[in-house]
């Protein structure tokens, strides 16, 4: 799920540099730490904490690469996605077993949901809602739904086969401000309002994950980070150093996190 918003940026003095300045300073990287890791995915929260997703394990590091906490669960299959938009209520989803775990900031379990028991039998993506409920994409009903902890659908979109001519396959989603963003790598990012009403499609294709920071949609592609302004629709590129063999990357504050084949590296930049 990466999906991955800065809900609380208005309450924090977070300096987000423009991509124009980042591009000019792209070579001014300083390695903070490299963490040995193979076949991992990463997500980061608005505090610049780093989370490594390795099959059955979720590991938490601070922005300097210091290990903090580890969560492991072998009873529900491999981790499918992690939503850290609220680092006090982290969502860990196991799609094979249709199970959702909620963890606190120490990666201690504070909630557990069997989605089959709640009446959902095929959920390809889910996200934490700003009101502490959950957004899910119901593959059987073919609808985006907001559900509460009891599984009750509070809001529901129209059926996607009635809304769209193309077949939509949602892989990740996130809730940011008053909108929900659903990513289909083949067709783009579909935007819905907080009531589940379709608004528009953003034509960004082949994305595995993305962030939204202060109305800028950030994504990685071809050894670069890109910024797509949700208001002006302007797109800018921040090339990563050529010597990196990056497979994925995220940006938080003055840190850049890079996944390579055998490690995850944390860089500062000036």
CA distance 58 to 9: 24
What is the structure's pLDDT at 27? 53
pLDDT above 90 (res 265): yes
pLDDT in tens, 199-256: 999 999 999 999 999 999 999 999 999 999 999 999 999 999 889 999 999 999 899 9
> What residues have CB less than 8 Å from 10, skipping those under 6 apart?
none
pTM for the model: 0.89
> b/e for 26-62, b at 16 or more Cβ within 10 A?
beebeeeeebebeebbbbbbbbbbbbbbbeeebbbbe
Which of 37, 36, 29 minimizes the C-alpha distance to 225? 29
pLDDT of residue 28: 78
**According to the model, what pLDDT value does residue 29 have?**
84
**Position 107 pLDDT exceeds 90:** yes
- Tokens for 210, please give them: 């993305």
Give just the sign of the alpha carbon dihedral 8, 9, 12, 14. positive
The three-state secondary structure class of 237 is strand
The per-residue pLDDT for 8 is: 42
- Non-local (6+) Cβ contacts of 23 within 8 A are 236, 237, 238, 239
Residue 234 CA to chain centroid, in angstroms? 22
Contact of 147 with 155, CB cutoff 8 Å? no
Mean pLDDT of the chain: 91
Domains and CATH numbers, the chain: 9-269 (2.120.10.30)
* Average confidence (pLDDT) over 74-83: 97
Rounding to the nearest 10 degrees, give the CA dihedral for residues 160, 173, 239, 23: 110
Q: Look at residues 106, 105, 191, 111 and name the one whose alpha carbon lies nearest to residue 148.
A: 111
Average pLDDT over residues 91-107: 98
Give residue 116's pLDDT band: very low, low, confident or very high (50, 70, 90). Answer: very high
- The pLDDT of 43-50, averaged and rounded, is 97
What's the mean pLDDT in 47-57? 97
Place of tokens 């993305």: 210
Which H or E run contains 4?
A: none
Residue 23 dihedral angles phi and psi, to the nearest 5°: -65, -40
Q: Identify the pLDDT of residue 137.
A: 98
């Amino acid at each position: 799920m990466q999906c991955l918003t800065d809900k609380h940026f208005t309450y924090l003095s977070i300096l987000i540099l423009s991509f124009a300045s980042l591009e000019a300073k792209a070579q001014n990287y300083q390695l903070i730490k490299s963490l040995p890791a193979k076949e991992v995915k990463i997500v980061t929260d608005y505090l610049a904490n780093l989370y490594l997703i390795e099959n059955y394990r979720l590991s938490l590091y601070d922005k300097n690469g210091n290990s903090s906490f580890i969560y492991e669960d072998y009873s529900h299959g491999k981790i499918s996605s992690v939503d850290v938009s609220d680092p006090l209520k982290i969502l860990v989803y196991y799609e094979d077993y249709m199970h959702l775990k909620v963890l606190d900031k120490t990666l201690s379990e504070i909630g557990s949901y069997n989605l089959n028991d709640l009446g959902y039998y095929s959920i390809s993506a889910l996200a934490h809602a700003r009101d502490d409920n959950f957004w899910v994409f119901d593959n059987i009903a073919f609808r985006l739904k907001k559900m509460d902890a009891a599984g009750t659908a509070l809001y529901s979109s129209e059926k996607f086969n009635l809304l769209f001519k193309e077949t939509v396959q949602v892989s990740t989603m996130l809730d940011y401000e008053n909108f929900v963003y659903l990513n289909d790598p083949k067709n783009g990012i579909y935007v819905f309002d907080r009531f589940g009403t379709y608004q528009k499609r953003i034509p960004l294709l082949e994305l595995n994950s993305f962030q939204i920071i202060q109305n800028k949609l950030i994504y990685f592609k071809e050894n670069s980070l890109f910024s797509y302004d949700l208001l002006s629709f302007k797109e800018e590129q921040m090339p990563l150093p050529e010597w990196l063999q990056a497979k994925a990357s995220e940006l938080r504050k003055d840190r850049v996190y890079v996944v390579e084949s055998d490690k995850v590296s944390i860089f500062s930049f000036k």
